Amino acid sequence: MLHAVVGLMLVIVLALPEPAQAQAQERKPGPINQPFGTYREQEFLIPWERNNERWLAHAKIFRPEGEAPRPLILIAHGMARLAADRPRQRPNWADPQARWFAAQGFVVIVPMRRGFGLSDGPLREGISCDNPDYVNASQTSANDVAGIVQYMAGQPYVDKTRVVMVGQSVGGWATLAVASRNPPGVIGVVNFAGGHGNTSPGTICVENRLVEGAQKMGQNAKVPALWVYTTNDKFFNDVLSAKMHAAYASSGAPADYKLVGAFGADGHSLFADPTGLSTWTPVVTQFLRKLELMR
């Protein structure tokens, strides 16, 4: 019987060298370069601990001008389909998107989960395609991003009572797992093309399990969610995404579903592709206004 660790997402993998500081020094928590640019962009190795297990997450932080506490946006990445590409993923994959949020007044962090980029490993969120456990995979991803939020909540420039999770693909699936926990301070999640278990365009490992996983995550979710999908997503088509949303919302989970039409050759890249900004920012702006985070 064939078992495979399966991930998904049209990932823009930037095969960049490790920052010189990270190469030259022993790995330890803290900044690995100097801040630069309008939003004081800076890469860090961030400590995280859960059940007596400690690890370092590679992340990039964007900060608007000033020192007053600001609401936090966490952007969760997807999973490169090829295992060899996952260590090459970098937190600069979403620079234009993070800068847009920073321009609206948010502190933004783009972390890499275990097994990705320069973060400690191994990968913990894979599945067996023969018998996929999509809920467990999502909760494992959620553990990682929740640990990052816990760290950021302790920073004086972050308003820990106003946190929004934004995720792409497997990262979007992770935001739904976070919403199912209703953690303090997390007041909204934005799921872009979220899902798991795609082995090739249009092929999902046990598709009905994915719908069932969405239903289970929505049973207890109270955090408002925005689901953003396209009509030409080659990973999760509009029929499947509508089924997942209906299952998630069936127990009363607050979740708006926005189908924004076709984007490029594959709508799965809407958030990851910088040219998609003009398409999704009006939808996200409306959602953030409902949360009283934007005017």
| Phi, psi (degrees; rounded to nearest 5) at 257 | -110, 120
C-alpha pair distances (Å), 198 with each of 77, 178, 217: 15, 21, 19
Q: Are 185 and 223 in contact, with CB atoms under 8 Å apart?
A: no
Helix or strand run (H / E) with residue 59: strand 53-62
Q: Are 285 and 73 in contact, with CB atoms under 8 Å apart?
A: no
Q: Are 277 and 96 in contact, with CB atoms under 8 Å apart?
A: yes
Q: What is the mean pLDDT of residues 208-225?
A: 96
Q: Are 92 and 14 in contact, with CB atoms under 8 Å apart?
A: yes
Alpha carbons 183 and 266: distance in angstroms, whole number: 33
| Whole-number pLDDT of residue 204 | 87
At 163, is the pLDDT very low, low, confident or very high (cuts 50, 70, 90)?
very high
| Sheet with 225-229: strands ordered across | 30-31, 42-50, 53-62, 107-111, 70-76, 158-168, 186-192, 225-229, 255-259
Alpha carbons 59 and 118: distance in angstroms, whole number: 9
Confidence check: pLDDT of 189 > 50 = yes
> Of residues 82 and 210, which shows the higher confidence score?
210
Confidence check: pLDDT of 142 > 80 = yes
Q: Are 197 and 241 in contact, with CB atoms under 8 Å apart?
A: no
| Whole-number pLDDT of residue 23 | 43
| Whole-number pLDDT of residue 26 | 67
pLDDT in tens, 223-239: 999 999 999 999 999 99
Helix or strand run (H / E) with residue 179: helix 170-181
Domain borders along the chain are 45-290
How many other β-carbons are positioned within 10 Å of the β-carbon of residue 124?
14
Cβ density class 27-49: b for 16+ within 10 Å, e for less:
eeeeebeeeeeebbbbbbbbebe
At 122, is the pLDDT very low, low, confident or very high (cuts 50, 70, 90)?
confident
Q: What is the mean pLDDT of residues 148-177?
A: 96
Q: Quick one: CATH architecture of 45-290?
A: 3-Layer(aba) Sandwich (3.40)
| Whole-number pLDDT of residue 182 | 96
Can you tell me whether residue 133 is helix, strand or coil? Answer: coil
| Phi, psi (degrees; rounded to nearest 5) at 77 | -80, 170
Confidence check: pLDDT of 71 > 80 = yes
Percent of all residues in the chain with a pLDDT value above 70, rounded to a whole number: 91
Q: What is the mean pLDDT of residues 19-32?
A: 65
Burial class for 183, CB neighbours closer than 10 Å (0-12, 13-18, 19+)? middle
Nearest alpha-carbon partner for 7 in 268, 280, 284, 274: 268
